Amino acid sequence: MKAKELKIMNELDSENKMIELKKELMKLNSQIAIGTVPKNPGKVGQIKRTIAKILTINHEKNLSKNKKEESKRNE
């Protein structure tokens, strides 16, 4: 997924997407551990990058919320 698409998702949608991606990554990792070659080996890296994007965007959103709340308190 593109970062632009992830930024417009709300918290619940991004959390659900991350859970779905982690399940898919677990399936692929178990296939690799067994010794079978996954259909698309590049998919593992792609899933990991997407999970990292989601975590980064969520962290940025939380930081911006905290800054807004802090500035309101200081007024």
Report whether pLDDT(65) > 90: no
The answer to the question of residue 63 being in a domain is yes
The answer to the question of residue 74 being in a domain is no
Number of structural domains the chain divides into: 1
Q: Encode pLDDT of 22-41 as tens digits.
A: 999 999 999 999 998 888 88
CATH of the domain at 55: 1.10.287
Report whether pLDDT(71) > 90: no
* Range 53-57, long-range pairs (CB < 8 A, 24+ positions): 53/1, 53/3, 53/6, 54/6, 54/14, 54/17, 54/18, 54/21, 55/18, 57/3, 57/6, 57/7, 57/14
Q: Encode pLDDT of 39-62 as tens digits.
A: 888 999 999 999 999 999 999 988
Q: Which domain holds residue 39?
A: 14-69
